[in-house]
Amino acid sequence: MVRELTLDSWVGPSFKYNSNKEYPMPQEFLAALSFVGMLANVKTVNIRFNENVGNSDSSFRGIEETCDFRFWVLDTVMRCLAGTWDANSQERRMNRVHSRMHEDQSSEWETSLGLKLSDEDEQLLQPIHVNTITVSNLQDFNDKRLTESAAFKSVISSPDLRDLKLFIAHEDEEASPENNIYFPERYDIDCLPRTWLSPELSKHLKTLSLYCKDYWGWCPRLDLRAVSPGSEPDSGLPALRVLALGNYVLSHEWQIDWIASLGRQNNSGGLEELYLDDCIILFQADIAAPLETGTTVIGTDSDGNSMEIPNDNYPNKEWFVNNGAGDWNDITVQFDVRWHAVFSRWKDTMQGLKILKVGSGSWNGEHNDAIYNAESWHQNTNNNANEVDVALPRYRRERSKFRQELQDQVFLNFASPGPQQKVVGTREPQVRYKNGVGLDQVGQKFLRYYKYDMGMGPTQWSEEDEEGEQQEDGGLWDMGTTEQDWNALLELLNTVEARRLGLPLQELHGRDLQSALRENERLLVL
């Protein structure tokens, strides 16, 4: 009985992506998607794309998994889940696929591989009521062929769907990465509240993991207040229990309160678990672009009145989408949000919080050595030299692929135990890391302040120098911000731990931050 289904578009180790080589269209994979509707007991669907995205018509390099390819996959899956896919749909889709294949590739897959839907197969197709959907390397482009389709809306609005996890990928211009900000597709992220995070889903969503390859939230802007807006009890994300954000930028006070407002109707008094993976605070922006002005309408209330949010200190989307057309004078914007203010506010307002992790995930596969060390430790403690001789060379051969898998699943592994330099305790490493490697909240500096400078490259984002070298641009470290931040984090962790254990807060006042972080890590292993 299949309960979890993973649909991975990877064509295998013999083909190197992003190499401008002839792409072997995975026609068998695309044809096999038509059989998803037979798996009546599936509750979790994982869709994995390649990390390289872009508009193949305008890109200087070949994009193997084009917008059309990604649409074919997502549309087929959504229509299978909705119960609206049939043999005619498969035939039309595969004819389209064949028209895009290079001439050396055979298209006689139907009879040789048995992947063509028969009349008997078609009788077995039915709607599938899934609880979880995850998409790795979802292209930032809002393809309306998908998001405005009846099947997509049916699946996303289903009350059975409780967990949604998305990792959004952006196009990179390798020769001039500083120009990535001018790709118009990355600004489609502001469509999420009307598509993947539609009001129908928001009312019953329990787990949301939202990661992007690059920093997001400010530029490109995604104002999360637009997610099912309003003041009614079922507005926002009222049932949410778990929130994981990756590469999210905190710049405005409203973001602190928005996160604290989640889960009002989940019977726990609010959000239970919060994971901030490589999230940063923006303290200054130097931009040669106009700022937004006025307000943005995000919906209407129950009385038919417009709901508006201010656009203060956000860059103008249209200016970037139009490739910076027109001249503009440099502007410097200062932001007042600080980590200690964030934690102090949450200490008082997030009454349901049981787990808080702020750290850095395995974005580039850095943490695969944690599993390597754990495996080595396990084998050495069992004194099985043959296992060590076999396992370690195999691991080294597969390290590159394993690193990519960790990177592609960083948005899924946030709640897993973090990497450890030394494996301790009695829990076997295979059990400890069976769901991947989570956030490193001990080994790295993770309470970060960043500056955005449009004149810099290859990225516009740079971290405030801990030694105070950028004092004229903020001087956050010299102002004692670091100590305030660590102290506020410790107070929040103590408050969460005391609440979880039912202890008076005074009993935890002697803990230092490292002890609190280690205890926080232990919770994820028990």
Query: What is the full DSSP assignment across 183-200?
Result: -GGGGGGGGGGGTTT-HH
What is the longest distance spanned by two Cα atoms in the chain?
A: 73
Tens place of pLDDT per residue across the chain (526 aa): 899 999 999 988 888 888 888 888 999 999 999 999 999 999 999 999 999 998 765 555 679 999 999 999 999 999 999 999 999 999 999 999 988 887 666 666 665 577 889 888 888 899 999 999 999 999 999 999 999 999 999 999 999 999 999 999 999 888 888 889 999 999 999 999 999 999 999 999 999 999 999 999 999 999 999 999 988 888 999 999 999 999 999 999 999 999 999 999 999 999 999 999 999 999 999 998 789 999 999 998 888 899 999 999 999 998 888 877 666 778 999 999 999 999 999 999 999 999 999 999 888 776 766 666 655 555 555 544 444 444 445 555 556 666 667 778 899 999 988 876 444 444 455 556 667 788 888 766 778 999 999 888 899 999 876 444 444 444 455 445 788 999 999 999 999 988 887 777 776 777 877 777 777 766 554 3
Report the 3 state secondary structure along 337-369: CCHHHHHHHHHHHCCCCCEEEEEECCCCCCCHH
CA distance 497 to 523: 10
For 132, phi then psi, to 5°, come to -135, 135
CA distance 363 to 404: 9
CA distance 170 to 186: 6
On the CB side of 342, CA atoms within 13 Å amount to 27
Extents of the domains making up the chain: 368-432
114 by DSSP, 3-state: which? coil
Sequence-ordered list of residues with C-beta below 8 angstroms from that of 339, at least 6 positions apart, any chain: 281, 447, 481, 484, 485, 488, 489
* Residue of 355, 366, 368, 395 lying closest to 379 (CA atoms): 395
* Residue of 265, 198, 258, 260 lying closest to 228 (CA atoms): 198
User: Residues, the chain, total?
Assistant: 526
What sign has the CA pseudo-torsion 2, 148, 199, 312? Answer: positive
